[in-house]
Amino acid sequence: MLHANGIFTSAGVKRLGIPDLVTDDGPLGVREEVKPGWGSANLTTDSATFFPNGSALAATWNPELAFRYGHDMGEEARKRNITVMLAPAFNICRTPLCGRTYEYYSEDPFLNARLAVQSVKGMQSQHVAACVKHYAVNNQEVERDFVSVNVDERTLREIYLPAFKASITEGNAWTIMSAYNKLRGTYCSENDYLLNHILKGEWKFKGMVISDWGGVHSTVNAANHGVDLEMGSPLPYNTYHFADKLLDSVKAGKVSMRVIDDKIRRILWVMYHTSMSENKPAASINTPQHSKTAYDIATESIVLLKNENHLLPLNTAAIKSIAVIGDNATHTFHLGGFGAGVKARYEVTALAGLKNKLGKDIAITFAQGYSGVYRPSRRNAGNEFGKPDSAMIAQAAATAKSADMAILFIGGNRDYESESRDRKDLSLPFNEQPLVDAVTAANPKTIVVVVGGAPYDISQIKKNNHTIVWSWYNGSENGNALADVLTGKINPSGKLPFTFPAQLKDSPAHALNAYPGENLKVDYKEGILVGYRWFDTKKIEPLYCFGYGLSYTDFKYSGFTTNKKSYKPTDLITATLKVKNTGKYAGKETVQLYISKTGSVVERAEKELKAFKKLKIAPGETASVTLNIPVKDLAYYDVKTSKWVVEPGKYKLLAGTSSRDIEQSGMITVD
Ligand code: BGC
Instruction: Say if residue 32 is in the same domain as residue 77.
Output: yes
Q: pLDDT at position 382, please? A: 82
Q: pLDDT at position 562, please? A: 98
Which of 213, 216, 342, 418 most suits a substitution to test ligand 1, by most atoms within 8 Å of the C-beta? 213
State the residue range of the domain holding 662: 553-670
- For residue 548, tell me if it sits in a domain: no
User: Which atom of ligand 1 approaches the CA of 31 most closely?
Assistant: 12
Rounded to 5°, angle at Cα 166 from 270 and 177: 50
How many angstroms separate the alpha carbon of residue 339 from the centre of ligand 1? 6
CA distance 589 to 460: 28
CA distance 38 to 234: 10
Residue 454, SS3 per DSSP: coil
Instruction: Say if residue 295 is in the same domain as residue 266.
Output: no
Does residue 591 register a pLDDT over 90? Answer: yes
* DSSP secondary structure letters along 526-578: TTT--THHHHHHTT---SB-TT--B-SS-EEEEEEEES-SEE-TT-EEEEEEE
CA atoms within 13 A on the CB side of 597: 20
- For residue 3, tell me if it sits in a domain: no
Q: Which CATH number covers residue 647?
A: 2.60.40.10
Q: pLDDT at position 279, please? A: 86
Q: pLDDT at position 97, please? A: 98
User: Which atom of ligand 1 approaches the CA of 103 most closely?
Assistant: 9
Query: What is the per-residue pLDDT across 632-644, written as a single tens digit (0 to 9) for each?
Result: 999 999 999 999 9
Query: What is the per-residue pLDDT across 470-521, written as a single tens digit (0 to 9) for each?
Result: 999 999 999 999 999 999 999 999 999 999 999 999 999 999 999 999 999 9
- For residue 602, tell me if it sits in a domain: yes
Nearest CA to ligand 1 atom 8: 212
- For residue 569, tell me if it sits in a domain: yes
Pocket residues: Cβ below 6 A from ligand 1: 25, 86, 133, 212-213, 339
Nearest CA to ligand 1 atom 3: 339
Instruction: Say if residue 256 is in the same domain as residue 362.
Output: no
How many angstroms separate the alpha carbon of residue 213 from the centre of ligand 1? 6
Beta strands in 51-207 (DSSP E): 84-86, 129-135, 148-150, 175-178, 182-183, 186-187
Q: Which CATH number covers residue 223?
A: 3.20.20.300
pTM tops 0.95, yes or no: yes
Instruction: Say if residue 362 is in the same domain as residue 224.
Output: no
| Of the residues 473, 500, 527, the one at which a domain ends | 500
Query: What is the per-residue pLDDT across 203-249, written as a single tens digit (0 to 9) for each?
Result: 999 999 999 999 999 999 999 999 999 999 878 999 999 999 999 99
Instruction: Say if residue 466 is in the same domain as residue 396.
Output: yes
How many angstroms separate the alpha carbon of residue 212 from the centre of ligand 1? 6
Q: Identify the active-site residue in 212, 296, 484, 536.
A: 212
| Of the residues 242, 273, 304, the one at which a domain ends | 273
Nearest CA to ligand 1 atom 2: 212
CB 487 within 8 A of CB 407: no
How many angstroms separate the alpha carbon of residue 140 from the centre of ligand 1? 14
- For residue 4, tell me if it sits in a domain: no
- Residue closest to 340 by CA, chosen among 102, 83, 47: 102
CA distance 545 to 655: 15
Q: pLDDT at position 234, please? A: 78
Query: What is the per-residue pLDDT across 503-516, written as a single tens digit (0 to 9) for each?
Result: 999 999 999 999 99
Has 20 been annotated as catalytic? no
Instruction: Say if residue 219 is in the same domain as residue 97.
Output: yes
CB 585 within 8 A of CB 552: yes
- For residue 517, tell me if it sits in a domain: no
142's enclosing H/E stretch is none
Does residue 98 register a pLDDT over 90? Answer: yes
Instruction: Say if residue 259 is in the same domain as residue 309.
Output: no
Q: pLDDT at position 22, please? A: 98
CA distances to 403, 410, 477, 485 from 323, in Å: 6, 14, 21, 18
Nearest CA to ligand 1 atom 12: 339
Instruction: Say if residue 88 is in the same domain as residue 193.
Output: yes
Q: pLDDT at position 339, please? A: 86
Does residue 383 register a pLDDT over 90? Answer: no
Instruction: Say if residue 59 is in the same domain as residue 198.
Output: yes
User: Which atom of ligand 1 approaches the CA of 133 most closely?
Assistant: 9
Instruction: Say if residue 170 is in the same domain as residue 315.
Output: no
CB 174 within 8 A of CB 204: no
What is the chain's mean pLDDT, rounded?
97
Instruction: Say if residue 344 is in the same domain as residue 230.
Output: no
How many angstroms separate the alpha carbon of residue 147 from the centre of ligand 1? 17
Does residue 172 register a pLDDT over 90? Answer: yes
Bridge partners for 187 per DSSP: 182
Cα 429 → chain centroid: 21
Q: Which CATH number covers residue 432?
A: 3.40.50.1700
| Of the residues 246, 273, 300, the one at which a domain ends | 273
- For residue 112, tell me if it sits in a domain: yes
**Number of domains comprising the chain:** 3
- For residue 283, tell me if it sits in a domain: no
Instruction: Say if residue 221 is in the same domain as residue 301.
Output: no
